[in-house]
Structure 1
Amino acid sequence: MLNLSVVLEDSARECPDRTALVLGDLRMSYALVDSLACQVAHLLASQGIGRGDTVALACPNLPYFPFVYYGILKAGAAVVPLNVLLQPQEIAYHLRDSGATTLFCFEGTADLPLGERGLAGFREATGGTDGFFLLPATPMATESGIEGVPTLWAALAGRPGEFETARTGPDDTAVILYTSGTTGRPKGAELSHQNMLMNAIVSDEMFPRAGEDVFLATLPLFHSFGQTVIMNVGFRRRAALALVPRFEPGAALALMRQEKVTLFAGVPTMYWALLTAVRAGGEVPPTLRTAVSGGASLPVEVLKDVERTFGVTVLEGYGLSETSPVASFNQPGRPTKAGTVGTPIWGVEMRLVDADWKTVPGEGPGEIAIRGHNIMKGYRGRPEATAEVMRDGWFRTGDIATRDADGYYSIVDRAKDMIIRGGFNVYPREVEEVLMTHEAVSLAAVVGVPHESLGEEVKAYVIRTPGATVTEPELVAWCRDAMAAFKYPRVVEFRDGFPMTASGKILKRELR
């Protein structure tokens, strides 16, 4: 038996009274989080959900996320974390594709009506409301205000705080993380209990310890980076997680000082924002011991500035949803090299390959291929897509890199045309396909263009249908309603034609 929920259960058994979660004035102990997770498991078991089933969770960084997440695992089911910015039709797609007939969904706010979107998507996917549980914005609320839809607290009432965790196997699916790669609709990367647990253990052992650690949980927990490096590592370490539902640099700095944060993990744009906040008068937290960067390449000048300003070494790493996610890291005990993503973590191999999977000798460049305990089982229900990227246990990432004489890897280009906007992956083809459903759009090409704070912004080049008069603001507004907030293009440029290859492919490099 192996179940990822052991990272919570072991800590609750050994340190029941230690603080696990912090949100404002709220403090939740490990024992309480584990008890709530057990109640969630009982709820699911009462619905007939167990080993082999999938359950979706749409929630920002709030206490709900960890205890529902581990409750799903305790029941034996796999968690399908959903990006909180998804629109109803996107939620419906993820539910149908993953086979999830149960959704725990945060109510949301006026600015982010996640509950409404989640319920609309759930109804579209399942035809009803059975299996939809609202995580209310008002703490402990038992009335949801939506007829026929229970709140989580109402559903948990009277359920026991102990549960015998399902006897899942190491290769059973624990989490399904959705990623588009670079083509087509999002694919669900199936990660096993062993994948996720080994990645948490190895990552935990790499990070320096500071006695009773406090992690700033500002990376979205629905994303693989935050899920493994912050939540699973933090819970295994028996750290306190200071939850940040929405990153705001000034508030984050203040919280780091207030809660005596020892570990911060973020994407490059977060580091850039923290530096800006310090220059605007924010105070540097004196307790910070470990700074981890991932999700995109951290500009060397920003890295050096962070190290000077915060007095810590920034440890940069690399990984993907398909690799649980950590694959390489600038590891303590070895020299760190700015501008690199370090060396493969324990138990993981990396090499550079060409288009035919042949090893590229020397420094490269070549495409990174990875093999080890962190590699996904495959894409759910997509054997052909899985076969395209996996061979003999090796997973090819699509990312181009070089490798120096000491074995340190440096990313030189991302897979094809993927855009990273503020740490979120945006896949141009998915945006293009939505754009093409607009009656005034004849052809669309989406690229990433440089942006000072986000790293990249999404830009769409559009050829209008003959006679169409749609304007840029009108098309941007339409996209805002059709796509998640991190995906839709903020900039539209109309063209009469696109540069093309002889075979008719759009030359995006000439559009950037």
Structure 2
Amino acid sequence: MLNLSVLLEDAARKYPDRDAVVFGDMRLSYATIDAIANQVAGLLRSRGIGEGDKVGLSCPNVPYFPMVYFGILKAGATVVPLNVLLKPREIAYHLEDSDAKALFVFEGTAELPLGEMGHAGFQSVDGCEHLFLMTADPGATESPYEDAELFWPALTGQPSTFEPALTGADDTAVILYTSGTTGRPKGAELTHSNMLINAFVSDTMFDRTDHDVSLVTLPMFHAFGQSCVMNVAVRRGATMVLQPRFEPAEALRLMAREKVTVFAGVPTMYWALLSDQGTVPPEEIAANLHTCVSGGASLPLEVLKGFEAKFGVKVLEGYGLSETSPVATFNQPDRPTKPGSVGTPIWGVEVKLVDEQWKTIEGEGPGEIAIRGHNIMKGYYGRPEATAEAIKDGWFRTGDIARRDEDGYYYIVDRSKDMIIRGGFNVYPREIEEVLMTHPAVSLAAVVGVPDEAHGEEIKAFVIREPGAEITEDELIAWGKENFAAYKYPRVVEFRDELPMTATGKILKRELR
């Protein structure tokens, strides 16, 4: 028996009265979070949902997330975290593709109406039978949707104790959606063993105190925020200070007020914190902060140096993917840190460089990164062909190009796929192109990433209009905003009469960049 929920069970036994979650003025203990997770598990079982079933979770960084996440696991079901920026069409796809039987969705705000979006997506999926709406007001008694149950009333009568399901190490704990060269999101099946070992190993690589406090501003629905922040924090009984949306000034105020000791973020967050003009004296942050971790994209060297100088703490870079649970390499504390490098393979993981024929490349490279170890996913849910294409003899091909120095440190130099990383989120051009071309005024589209100071990369679309069409840049951007998640739609559009192509008709994106 192995169940990822043991992280919360153990923390609740060791530190029942310690603050597990801080959110605004709310402070919830580990005992409280565990008790509510038990009620969630009981609720699911009462609805006939248990071992092997899939349950969607659409929720930002608010206390509901760990309650429901661990409750789903306790019931023996699989968590399917959804990006909170998805539109109804995208939500429906994820629910249907994962065979989800239920969806927990936070109601959100007027600016981000998650409940409305989730309900619209839920309605169009026949197999998803239960919708639980988590409200900002726990006293709410009336659901705005006839087919949705309010979270707290649904828990009424459920006991605060629950015996976790006897899941196996190789059973699927979480399905994290990512995309491939086809642009169609694929669900990476991560086992209880994948997730637990990655949390344990990550925990050993971060410095710690008797009571750490972690600022959780990376989305917990994302692999980085879920494994390296939430699960590691619960593993060590740390207090999680939740920030639903990253705002640098507020992040700094929270770090000072709560005496934050651990921070993990993407490069744009470090850039924003470094650029802040005096919200909090840097020495107030430096007095407690002992561990900073960066991932999701390469951290510019000047930002790294500037942050370390300002706050007096080293930033440790790592590398991983949803398919690797996610950590694969890291600048580990017991070895010298090399700025610009994503470090060396973590414990129990092997990394090598390969060519297009899977042949091992010796020496510096460059070559495509291949990874083998306890962190490799079970496969892509329902896609045996895609799984076989990505994994061979236990080795997972990442699609990322790197070089390696004489000490075994890896440096990401390019991506073999055309993936764009905008603010730490992966954006796949083909998906954007295919939807853009459903617009009646668009004849052909090519999407690339262009450098952007704030987000690392910005999404730019090169478009050939249909003959006679008169759509403007602003009109197409506004249309994209309505049809894509907020991190996906192109912010820049350039109209052209033709696009550069090879003799076989392949668009030369290298020239467009």
Q: TM-score range by the shorter chain?
A: over 0.9
CA distance in 2: counterparts of 1:443 and 1:357, whole angstroms: 34
Which residue matches 2:381?
380
The residue aligned with 1:13 is 13
* Cα distance, 1:147 vs structure 2: 2.9
Letter of the 2:378 partner, please give it. K
Q: Which residue in 1 is equivalent to 2:429?
A: 428
Of 272, 280, 283, 2:281 maps to: 283
SS of equivalent to 1:269: helix
Give per-residue Cα distances to partners, 1:172-215, cap 9 Å, x unaligned: 00000000023231000000000000000000011111220000
Quick one: distance in 2 between partners of 1:144 and 1:393? Answer: 48
Q: CA deviation at 1:509?
A: 0.9
The 8 Å contact of residues 224 and 324 in structure 1, kept in 2 or not, is answered as yes
Instruction: Tell me if 1:305 matches 2:267.
Output: no
Name the counterpart of 2:57.
57
Mapped pair 1:173 → 2:172: yes
Quick check: 1:347 aligned with 2:360? no
Q: Secondary structure at the residue paired with 2:435?
A: helix
1:283 and 1:204 map into 2 onto residues whose CA distance is 29
Distance 1:469 1:127 in 2: 42
- Name the structure 1 match of 2:150: 151
Contact 1:210 1:289 in 2 (8 A): no
Matches within 5 A, 1:312-461: 312-461=313-462
Q: What is the distance in 2 between the residues matched to 1:393 and 1:485?
A: 36
Matched, 1:48 2:48: yes
Preserved contact between residue 53 and residue 77 of structure 2 (Cα < 8 Å): yes
Residue in 2 aligned with 1:196?
A: 195
CA distance in 1, matches of 2:138, 2:25: 13
2:102 matches 1:97: no
Cα deviation for residue 459 of structure 1 reads 0.6
Distance (whole Å) between structure 2 residues aligned to residue 154 and residue 148 of structure 1: 14
Check conservation: 2:55, 2:102, Cα contact below 8 A: yes
Instruction: Report the AA paired with residue 93 of structure 1.
Output: Y
SS at match of 2:125: helix
Over residues 56-104 of structure 1, what are the superposed CA-to-partner deviations in whole Å (9 max), with x where a residue is unaligned? 0000000000010000000000000000000000000000000002000
Q: Would you say the 8 A contact 1:142–1:152 is kept in 2?
A: no
Write out per-residue CA displacement over residues 235-273 of structure 1, whole angstroms, 9 at most, x where no aligned residue.
010000000001000000000000000000000000000
Q: How high is the sequence identity, in percent, across the aligned residues?
A: 71
TM-score, normalised on structure 1? 0.98
Paired residue secondary structure (1:175): strand
For structure 1, the 5+ residue unaligned runs are none
- Matched residue pairs, number? 510
Following TM superposition, by how much is the alpha carbon of 1:29 offset from its aligned partner in structure 2, in angstroms? 0.5
SS at match of 2:360: coil
> 1:280: how far off?
4.3
CA distance in 1, matches of 2:185, 2:199: 25
Any idea what the Cα deviations from partners look like across 1:157-180, whole Å, max 9, x if unmatched?
111000110000000000000000
Secondary structure at 1:405's aligned position in 2? Answer: coil
Partner in structure 2 of residue 236 of structure 1: 235
Q: Counterparts of 2:498 and 2:35 in 1: how far apart (Å)?
A: 61
Asked whether 1:260 is paired with 2:259, we answer yes
TM-score normalised according to structure 2 size = 0.98
Measure the CA separation in 2 of the matches of 1:420 and 1:218: 18
Corresponding residue number in structure 2 for 1:215: 214
Distance 1:166 1:149 in 2: 26
Tell me the alpha carbon deviations over residues 2-31 of structure 1, each in whole angstroms, 9 at most, x when there is no partner: 000000000101211111000011111101
Secondary structure of 1:370's counterpart equals strand
**Cα distance in 2 for residues equivalent to 1:282 and 1:508:** 43
- Say what the alpha-carbon RMSD is for the aligned residues: 1.0
Indicate whether 1:108 and 2:108 are aligned.
yes
Cα distance in 2 for residues equivalent to 1:10 and 1:282: 36
- Paired letter, 1:119: H
Equivalent pair of 2:175/2:189 in contact (CA under 8 Å): yes
SS at match of 2:241: strand
Q: For residue 497 of structure 1, what is the aligned residue in structure 2?
A: 498
Q: Is the 8 A contact 2:202 2:232 kept in 1?
A: yes
Which residue pairs with 1:123 in the alignment?
123
Indicate whether 1:293 and 2:294 are aligned.
yes
- Which residue number in structure 2 is paired with residue 478 of structure 1? 479
Partner of 2:149, secondary structure, is coil
What does 1:126-137 correspond to in 2, within 5 Å?
Answer: 126=126, 130-137=129-136
Q: CA deviation at 1:452?
A: 1.2
Matched letter for residue 438 of structure 1: H
SS in 1 for 2:51: coil
**Preserved contact between residue 253 and residue 279 of structure 2 (Cα < 8 Å):** no
Q: Note the C-alpha offset of 1:142.
A: 3.0
SS of the residue corresponding to residue 440 of structure 2 reads: coil
